[in-house]
Amino acid sequence: DALDPERLIQCPYNKHHRIRAGRFPYHLVKCRKSYPEVAKELATCPFNARHLVPRADLSDHIMKCNDKGILEQDIVNQSSGFQREQMNAVSTWQAPPCEEDWET
């Protein structure tokens, strides 16, 4: 199960490190400092900071990333909610009082 915090994930900085999913973000920060040369070769996915891939493979990863769909769906949901709010909004605008009398 992808949401299991006890699931073991392989560290992108050191292939011998296997970390529980719940601790993985903390481990990434620590390992990035310990392996600066490896860190220079990796790029972070714009959809999920836990996805670290070789820089050369980033565009391919972006096209296939599962988290991309989740983010796109959130954007669609937010924009459709905004449109509904705009449609239901009642204007409170009133014309300012006019001092002119066109009849005179």
Q: pLDDT by residue for the chain (104 residues), tens digit each?
A: 567 889 999 999 999 999 999 999 999 999 999 999 999 999 999 988 999 999 999 999 999 998 887 777 777 777 665 555 666 667 777 778 878 877 76
Q: What is the pLDDT of residue 97?
A: 81
Can you give the pTM of this predicted structure? 0.62
Q: Of all helices (H) and strands (E), which one includes residue 44?
A: strand 42-44
Q: What is the pLDDT of residue 80?
A: 65
**CA 26 centroid distance within chain:** 18
Distance CA 51, CA 71 (A): 15
Q: What is the pLDDT of residue 88?
A: 63
Distance CA 61, CA 80 (A): 28
Q: What is the pLDDT of residue 45?
A: 93
Q: What is the pLDDT of residue 32?
A: 95
Q: What is the pLDDT of residue 58?
A: 95
Distance CA 72, CA 17 (A): 32
Distance CA 70, CA 52 (A): 18
